[in-house]
Amino acid sequence: MLSVIIPTYNEEKVLHSTLTSLLRQQGEYDIIVVDGGSTDRTQDIAQGIPGITVLTASKGRASQMNAGARHAGVNGTQPDDWLLFLHADTILPANGIQRLNTMKDDSSIQAGGFSHQFSGDDWRLRVVSWLDNFRCRYSRIIYGDQALFVRQSLFQQLGGFPNQPILEDVAFCEQLLKHTLPILLDPPVITDSRKFVQMGIWRSLARVFLIILSVEFRLPVLAPAFFQDIR
């Protein structure tokens, strides 16, 4: 059984559309929403949709995603089953789940993610996505908004996401690369662009460059304030 794990924190603006889209997917899967203490209607939205498991964990994507993975294991996930980590503002391509189900028996594939695209048609957002996809094809570091998927057994072997407040996806993938080469699938996932627009697209683009430089050239980790919550 494929488990889709969605960490949430004050995502009432987008969560309903993400879950509605996800429930249209064909194939075998369950959905686990792990909330980090939202103060808006996020938990109510998730609990109001039948068939979705809603958990709580301490705030932080690493903590929340690890909690979701533990629940999937207790709930009967097998070692070769997929764990798919999906951001609350990101939509899978229409055949995403079905495609992963067909890949289940291919043991040569142990992990991967999807190429990325922002919603909207602003050319600057297309540039950001192009840069992100180029970086990913070069480094095979899958960012969180690319719907990372990994075998349950390998995820457990690596100890899950490291307990750090930022860049937990990058740190996990750096360990992942020591065991397998993640694949990158098309068509892309679509991430709601509101956060980039709200921050300012050029400022957001500069932010992306700083993150890439920090990761690729092993520069000091950026201050937590750089990763401010924008809802």
* Percent of the residues in the chain that have a pLDDT greater than 70, as a whole number: 87
Q: Return mean pLDDT, the chain.
A: 88
- Give 191's strand partners: 90, 118
Query: How far, in Å, CA of 219 to CA of 203, rounded?
Result: 20
pTM of the model: 0.89
SS3 150: strand
Give me the pLDDT at residue 223, please.
47
User: Is residue 78 over pLDDT 80?
Assistant: yes
Q: Please state the domain extents for the chain.
A: 2-227
128's tokens: 């950001």
Which ranges of the chain does DSSP label H, i.e. alpha helix?
15-23, 42-47, 61-74, 96-102, 123-139, 152-157, 168-176, 194-199, 201-216
The CATH class that applies to domain 2-227 reads alpha beta
User: What pLDDT is recorded for position 48?
Assistant: 96
Q: How confident is the model at residue 135 (pLDDT cuts 50, 70, 90)?
A: confident
